[in-house]
Amino acid sequence: MTVVAEADAMSVKPLTPLIGSEVKLPRSALIEGTFAPQIRSLLRERGVLVFPKVDLSDDEMIAFANTIGPIFVEVGEGVMMMSLDKNDTQVSAYLRASQFWHIDNVSRGIPNFASMLSARALPDEGGETEFANMYAAWEGLPADQKASLEGLRVNHSFESFQRRAIPDPTSADLESWLRLPTGSVPLVWHHNTGRTSLVLGSSAYEIIGRDPAEGRLLLCRLTEFATQPQYVYRHTWSLGDLVVWDNTGTMHRARPFAEGATRRLGRLATVGEEELV
């Protein structure tokens, strides 16, 4: 989709056929929300939007996020620093798990609508972010398999997500993980828009009413299916890039990078607009 070709307009270029578009527009228009309705619909349509090297400050990022929707308050107010360095954030220990596929805040039952990251410091190698289009994955499933998945509910927990990164937790780790909400959500999300997506991620640990091993195998097979190359966009960061994704229709994960290397990304999300029931 290309939007208008006038000077000062917004130009949009697909990054892969099924997911991701690069969006260029004047910096001031981005921050002031001149194209906010178009950006919201593009987010739903393309899953991920890349605004190359716009280099937003915290205040500018907050201003932009507010044009998309009300900001979700997470660990304190304002932009959260995603970093594995404990000097950057008090939650650095949790952030290792972000290297595993997930949907932000899915176990709360109202996943954030738009999540966004802005690159502030990058490692020389690695540390990319990958996104998988869960609408396209659903559409790619054979009809008989789609029918067999309808109505299934899946239990999600922060513990299941964190165990990928820390398989041998201390009791203090476990206690802190257990404080976060656990919930069951549908495997197949019929959105208010009429579209349908799969709901997966490392927080998913069992399918209700299924033999546990059989349920885990199905979740694993579906994850493999949904993360095939045609459904995935991998973003290799440049400093100042702003990447925004529709967290209700995509999963994402960070890729590894060297231990001790610096990687800082500012993060904000907007509140969820649709309950996953």
Interface residues toward Fe ion, by CB under 5 A = 104
**CB-based closest residue to Fe ion:** 104
Q: Please give the Cα distance from 181 to 273 (Å, whole number).
A: 18
Find the shortest distance in angstroms from Cβ 9 to Fe ion.
31
Q: Which is nearer to Fe ion, 16 or 115 (CB)?
A: 115
Q: Please give the Cα distance from 240 to 56 (Å, whole number).
A: 7
**Bridge partners of 264?**
121
Q: Please give the Cα distance from 78 to 59 (Å, whole number).
A: 8
Find the shortest distance in angstroms from Cβ 18 to Fe ion.
21
Q: Which is nearer to Fe ion, 31 or 254 (CB)?
A: 254
Name every residue whose Cβ is closer than 8 Å to that of residue 141 and which is 6 or more positions away in sequence: 149, 225
97 phi, psi to nearest 5 deg? -65, -15
**Angle, to 10 degrees, between the axis of helix 171-178 and the axis of helix 158-165?**
140
Find the shortest distance in angstroms from Cβ 174 to Fe ion.
21
Find the shortest distance in angstroms from Cβ 269 to Fe ion.
9
Name every residue whose Cβ is closer than 8 Å to that of residue 224 and which is 6 or more positions away in sequence: none
Q: Which is nearer to Fe ion, 21 or 98 (CB)?
A: 98
Q: Which is nearer to Fe ion, 104 or 159 (CB)?
A: 104
Find the shortest distance in angstroms from Cβ 172 to Fe ion.
23
Q: Which is nearer to Fe ion, 104 or 246 (CB)?
A: 104
Find the shortest distance in angstroms from Cβ 216 to Fe ion.
22
Q: Which is nearer to Fe ion, 82 or 207 (CB)?
A: 82
Of the candidates 116, 112, 43, 82, the one whose C-alpha atom is nearest the C-alpha of residue 268 is: 116
Of the candidates 37, 67, 48, 69, the one whose C-alpha atom is nearest the C-alpha of residue 274 is: 69
The CA angle 197-199-203, to the nearest 5 degrees, is 165
